[in-house]
Amino acid sequence: MRFLALSSVLLVGTSLAAPLGVFSGRVGSFDVVMKLDEPTSDWSVSNSTYFYTSKGLDVPLAYRRSGSNVTVNEYAAFELGADERKATATFRGTLSGDSFRGTWSTTDGKRTLPFTLKRVNVATLPLALPSSPGLLALRAKDPYNFVKVNRAFVVAKRAGDVTWLREPRSGVTYPRLPSGAAVNAALQDRQLQDVQYALSCLSDLSQRSDIDLQEGWEQDVTITYRSATLLSVRSDVGYYCGGAHPDAYIDGLTLNVRTGRALKLTDLWPTLTAKSLDAEYRRGFKQEGEPPCEETLSNRAAVTFEDYRAFLTKDGVTLWPTYVPHVAAPCAVEVTIPFARLGRGGSLAPR
């Protein structure tokens, strides 16, 4: 789940079978952003989608185009046990240049609203957040999600000299240091990534009429290590996106405070190998609960650094295994390895 799929790069074309692009505007008095990807011939739900800016949750769409006339079906909650998703509303409008205008109406005819949308040129949109590599890459490669997340964060709290900023719709909150543009840009980019994961999850959950959105995404980020040269944060996430069961994971991020570069363990301990790291984890592992964990820890085709998420603490490097399946969740135990057991450290390694 840590690697939830996000929408693909949008390519705006000119043929009737090509994507129409990203539009923003209003449906009635509601601000919306719409992405019209390739049209469909059978009304199957495609990558076309739109969201109300106040919520940021995607509503799936499918559309057909005949000349300047465009008909877009909106598909809302998927009823449990239903054979297929049903359209709940339709946009009927005319495309003229960069404008898309018409009428939105529910399929039962009980509600009708005018809509006016205009194609978005993201290059002209001002940044609502400080400039960062991830934000600029999103603007260049994924205009729809750029428009979604290019919104000012709010101050959640201040603790000492650290300010914690929250994205209002997802609730994802990350720290900012009092100085250091590079490290704060890196923290913002990781936060934006997690905001997209959270909103994607909540969008999926919103298509289930039988589930409360409050069950969808909970994330707690803490600073676990801070020095003049290093910052390490831990992220605990619990989520339910409408699948068979809820799940959870732990992630870690260690940054060079001066450059903002995300550091691997081998950047700090150059002689460390994946096998030696795995051996140290298993040495420190303490079995908790059932089922027995030895088979789970051993049942891997190959050992890699990706088997663990890591973050620094004052006592050492804490590892959390990524390879433990949900059914063996009690075996996903955190283990902290003292720095001295990781080999000879480089110039940045904590002592």
Q: Please report which residue ranges of the chain form alpha helices under DSSP H.
A: 133-141, 143-149, 181-206, 265-268, 274-284, 294-298
Determine if the peptide bond prior to 143 is cis (ω within 30°): no
Confidence of residue 82 (pLDDT cuts 50, 70, 90): very low
Is the distance from CB of 165 to CB of 158 less than 8 angstroms?
Answer: no
The Cα–Cα gap between 108 and 54 comes to 25
Burial class (CB in 10 A: 0-12, 13-18, 19+), 177: middle
The helix (H) or strand (E) run that includes residue 157 is strand 154-159
Percent of the chain with pLDDT over 90: 70
Tell whether the model's pLDDT for residue 15 goes beyond 50.
no
Second-level CATH architecture of 21-120: Beta Barrel (2.40)
The Cα–Cα gap between 152 and 160 comes to 22
Per-residue model confidence (pLDDT) at position 6:
46
Instruction: Provide the residue ranges of all domains of the chain, joining segments of one domain with +.
Output: 21-120, 126-263, 264-351
Confidence of residue 18 (pLDDT cuts 50, 70, 90): low
Of the candidates 77, 83, 4, 70, the one whose C-alpha atom is nearest the C-alpha of residue 37 is 70
The reply to whether 21-120 and 126-263 are identical in fold is no
CATH 3.90.226 fits 264-351, yes or no: no
Tell whether the model's pLDDT for residue 103 goes beyond 70.
yes
Per-residue model confidence (pLDDT) at position 49:
93
In this prediction, residues 158-167 reach a mean pLDDT of 98
Confidence of residue 208 (pLDDT cuts 50, 70, 90): low
Give every strand in the sheet of 162-166, ordered side by side. Answer: 154-159, 162-166, 173-176
Per-residue model confidence (pLDDT) at position 307:
96
Tell whether the model's pLDDT for residue 299 goes beyond 90.
no
CATH number attached to the domain at 126-263: 3.30.565
Q: Is 342 helix (H, G, I), strand (E, B) or coil?
A: helix
The helix (H) or strand (E) run that includes residue 21 is strand 21-27
In our burial notation (b when 16+ CB lie closer than 10 A, e otherwise), range 77-98 reads bbeeeeeebebebbbebebeee
